Structure 1
Amino acid sequence: MSKHITPAEAANLIPDGAIVSVSSSSGLGCPDLMLKTIGERFETTGHPRDLTTLHPIAAGDMSGIKGIDHIARKGLLKTIIGGSYPSGPSSAEPPLIWQMIGNDEVAAYNIPSGILFDMHREAAAKRPGVLTKVGLDTFVDPAHQGCAMNASAAASPLVKKVAFEGEEWLYFRAIVPDVAIIRATTADERGNLTYEHEGAYLGGFDQALAARNNGGIVIAQVKRIAKSGTLKPHDVRIPGVLVDYIVVDPDQKQTTQTVYDPAISGEIFRPLESFRLPEFNIQKIIARRVARELQAGSAVNLGFGISANVPRILLEEGLHGAVTWVIEQGPVGGVPLLDFAFGCASNAEAFVPSPHQFTYFQGAGFDASLLSFLEIDRTGSVNVSKLSFRPHVTAGAGGFVDITARARKIIFSGMFNAGARLAVSDGRLVIEKEGKLKKLVNAVEHVTFSGRRAIKQGQDITYVTERCVMKLTPEGLVLTEIAPGVDLQMHILDQSEFPLIVSDKLKVMDAALFQEAPIGLRLPQKPARKLEGAAHV
């Protein structure tokens, strides 16, 4: 018997007070039609009410795929637990969900994406919850905000600090979903799901398993339905035994602003010359300097922002393939995409389910991570998860906390301060006017990355800006390089709220970084890997 039902019939299956887990990553893999139909049902009938929704990665992006904003209605949502939240153009009105969070109309939590996937896994196995060190001494820690984004959430904590085997851990109880809403490309009549047009698998399997094992239902939104027995078993990512209902949306987008691109789903490989190279500007200068921190043969995680341009720097320098990029949505290798398509990669070598990718990150199996910063403080801690001009509201940290918790090497990149007017002339940086907002502050507003824990764990931390490079040491932030044309005192030391240590070996950044021509980048080879932590006779 076919499991195909209409979106309205599927929406009617969701009871008041249900816990609903939604698989998505911004526009990538978003079951937008199902969320839209749930919102329409509420507007018409007043049901379902008081939902708790789980979003390991954001659902929607305000750039053509509304996602969670379809159900951001007072009375419909009671609680929302997200790894990240949708964002849109800075000039646009804030998403409805941000407004609800800021107005304390919904209890809102920001739990790291990897931990949220772990919570689903523990719920599926009927274990009590997640014991982890990920998030210690960050906003995740109960000593800080404990993941709460507003007063309603702070009144009902989801994480506590516990002692186990003589060590300090964070404990997140498992949350059991009543409904999982996932997405794929094709379903056969028995509910077997394939992902041939998707840019990532995300965590649909784990979310479906958590619901099914606990007596819940699984609704899969797909582009099309095939006859039973026509899908190749090796292509099926989620078996039909986990899927209860199928909803068809023939118009679902592959990802944000993209109806379908076969290179994103690995069906073809684009010629390398078809990728846009970054124009010469300040951000490119920073990305070039970040690239010099890499080693050939490394597996490197990539975050949103300036860092996302680093693969294009290697492409321009003839070094594509020297580094394997790994991103939290699951693509491995290839050329990670930019802007709202970030999270996808063209020409990927493999797709890993997001929960497995986060296990890889949490255990520091990769070599380095390239991430952005909004603020840095005197301890080396970084904030990327709260914007001061939007009180109590954040786009969320996504997998940032999972990635940085144990990463052996992290290169943070960003502008030294906000709003400065900058230019480049004859291989020198020209600061025409200073920005009004300092980004090196005494204490960050929100601790997304803990410099204190980084020192304790021996992590290698570098901060790259347009005017200098800094290293984190037990004594503080050490200034190691300065851009040509920059005045040390006026442009750097006076622009920081806390004292910077100037290295006695302070160098001038290579002038080639500040010129349009390729820089002749050469990457040292990563040392051969040796067995770690084993006793040898």
Structure 2
Amino acid sequence: MTTFISADEAVSLIHDHATFAHSGFVGAGLPDFLLKALRDHFDRTGSPQGLTYIKSIGDSDKKGRGADRLAADGLISTIITSHTGLEPALSRYIHEEKCLAYMIPLGTLLKLFRAQAAHQPGVWTRTGLMTFIDPRLEGGKVNLRTQTEGNELVRLVEVDGKEYLYYPSLPIQVCFIRGTYADEDGNILMDKESLIADQFELAAAAHASKGIVIAQVEGIVERRSFDARRIVVPRMLVDYVVQAPPAYHCQSLARPDFLPELTGAIRTPLTALQPLPLDARKVCASRAVQELQPQALINLGIGMPQGVAAAAAEKGLADGLTFSVESGVLGGVPLTGTDMGAALNPEAICKTADMLDLYDGGCLDLAVLGLAEIDRLGNINVSKFNGHVTGPGGFIDIAQNTKRLIFMGTFTAGGLKEEISQGKLHIVHEGAYKKFKQTVEQITFSAAYAVETGQDVLIVTERAVFRLTADGLVLTEIAPGIRLEEDVLAQMDFRPRLAEPLLTMDTALFT
């Protein structure tokens, strides 16, 4: 039977050294009121201590809300997640060795919730082989303390002559989830939620672990006053319900009001979208658009790739394409920043775990992903820089299971200034940091795995385009106005092979 309680009563149910998890995808499905109550309770009482903390993905606004509230000395002893790129305090907590820390792919983590819910022993997957998740490299251990003190979270196994990664199931003793409404019996509805994240999977995993499920909602509605198909988490999985004030139950961390266009309830004309300014981001996005095929199902990663949807809409091509996000959104125009995961005019909203299953099954025609570092072999790092961890999120799930890939980013970073005029690109001030390195700090994308599985991989920057081959990178195009030796080759720590002929990027990209 579900009980309705206060937030203070809810967090007092969490004991020291418990395994604790919560739902969320950036701001969507994020039980921020309960997380605030947990931090306040810890600051006031010093309890609970030493939590093993599990969360699927980045859940904050980079300003201290959401998961970043839990970066308090002694509160967390171990963290297991796929991403901390939106939580600077939590990322610093890991970097300063204040806890053990494991990063695993988003899809694998969601499969672990399902495995625990079904009392299965664990998860077998090929996703993550030859990346830093592989125990032959780092085993997902992302700081020195974990490498020296931590247990193995993943093992390499062989089944019928093929290599797999095996993860034992993870019991969950307490979890927070979020819905829009609870009825008087404790059934959870998500009518206003822009996403259906991992609420059901977490609740089912905690319930199977004989743990506690606490749901945050914005309101209580009369029992049986709605279509039963609207229930996402049934009452038998919900132990307690907490009603949150509006300030801590936002549908968007950037904009607090309910945005029905993010649920498909209303339609926003694409003509209302502002065109991208003509800069490096637009050049890369427009070059990627040239690779898109009609009726393709496409994933867009975080950062620069998110501009591809806007560039396609600006060219009148968006209606012939289907963009998707690992959050579960199909169709529409994916949003950026703290609205990441949601979309304007979505055609359908699936559960995040269901979408990752589809990705793992190879349903995507193309993925456009970010580029932070790339080495002479074609390995790519998007998860760890100068020792600071962000994690892969859904990057590995997507990158290893999609036949055609485009990685995009600026050629250098750190103070890069460029001008575009008269159809040409000019370097005003070169970036301080080279992205094309002899060796990347961490392998988030394995070039060897891509070659072995026959993936088609293109690397797009504002001044040069490369293709991945079995022999490494081949430079195929350079931008008009760019000097090959000074602006491209001199800004790389290795010398790639040059295509014959070496082409000039379409001048239309620069006008």
TM-score band by shorter chain is over 0.9
Q: Which residue of 2 aligns with 1:411?
A: 406
1:4 and 2:1 aligned: no
| 1:151 corresponds to | 144
Q: Check conservation: 1:430, 1:485, Cα contact below 8 A.
A: yes
Count, aligned residues: 505
Cα distance in structure 1, aligned partners of 2:205 and 2:175: 8
Letter aligned with residue 182 of structure 1: I
Corresponding residue for residue 461 of structure 1:
457
Question: Given the alignment, which residue of 214, 217, 225 partners 1:219?
Answer: 214
Q: Which residue of 1 aligns with 2:15?
A: 15
SS at structure 2 position matched to 1:513? helix
Among 111, 120, 123, the alignment partner of 1:127 is: 120
Deviations 1:220-243 (CA, angstroms, capped at 9, x unpaired): 101111111113111111111111
The CA distance in 2 between the partners of 1:339 and 1:212, in whole Å, is 33
Tell me if 1:343 matches 2:341: yes
What's the TM-score once normalised by structure 1's chain length? 0.92
Q: TM-score, normalised by structure 2?
A: 0.96
Matched, 1:353 2:348: no
Deviation at 1:434, TM superposition (A): 2.3
TM-superposed CA distance for 1:86, in Å, is 4.6
Deviations 1:32-78 (A, max 9, x none): 11011111111122211111111111222224x61122222222211
Tell whether the 8 Å contact from 2:157 to 2:165 is kept in structure 1 after alignment.
Answer: yes
2:431 corresponding residue in structure 1: 435
- Shift, 1:184, TM fit: 0.7
CA contact (8 A) 2:2 2:238 kept: no
1:100 pairs with one of 93, 99, 115: 93
Looking at structure 1, the residues matched to 274 and 191 of structure 2 have their Cα atoms a distance apart, in angstroms, of 25
Conservation of the 8 A alpha-carbon contact between 1:59 and 1:86? no
Distance across 2 between alignment mates of 1:101 and 1:53: 12
Which residue of structure 2 aligns with residue 228 of structure 1? Answer: 223
> 1:377 aligns to what?
375
AA aligned opposite 1:27: G
Q: 1:73 to 1:115 in 2, by over 3 A?
A: same
SS across alignment from 2:21: strand
Corresponding residue SS for 2:226: coil
What letter is aligned with 2:80? I
What is the aligned partner in structure 2 of residue 302 from structure 1?
300
SS in 1 for 2:101: strand
Give the aligned partner of residue 253 of structure 2. 256
Task: Tell me the C-alpha RMSD between the 2 structures.
Answer: 1.3
Residue 87 of structure 1: aligned partner: 86
Q: Secondary structure at the match of 1:402?
A: helix
Aligned counterparts of 2:235 and 2:85: Cα–Cα separation in 1? 30
Which amino acid in 2 is paired with 1:511?
T
- Alignment match of 2:473 (pick from 457, 470, 477): 477
Structure 2 letter corresponding to 1:366: L
Structure 1 residue 407: Cα displacement? 0.9
Q: Distance in 1 between matches of 2:17 and 2:362?
A: 38
Structure 1 unmatched ranges of 5 or more: 89-94, 516-537
Is 2:230 aligned against 1:238? no
Q: Distance in 1 between matches of 2:238 and 2:191?
A: 18
Aligned residue in 1 for 2:332: 334
Of 460, 484, 488 in structure 1, the residue corresponding to residue 484 of structure 2 is 488
Unaligned runs of at least 5 residues, structure 2: none
The CA deviation at 1:104 is: 0.7
- Superposed displacement of residue 2, structure 1: 6.0
Q: State how far apart, in whole Å, the 2-side matches of 1:219 and 1:278 are.
A: 42
Shift of 1:177: 0.4
Is residue 412 of structure 2 the alignment partner of residue 444 of structure 1? no
The one-character-per-residue Cα deviations of 1:102-150 (angstroms, maximum 9, x if unpaired) are 1111111111111100111111111111111111111111122211111
Offset at 1:414?
Answer: 0.5
Displacement over 6 Å in runs of 4+: none
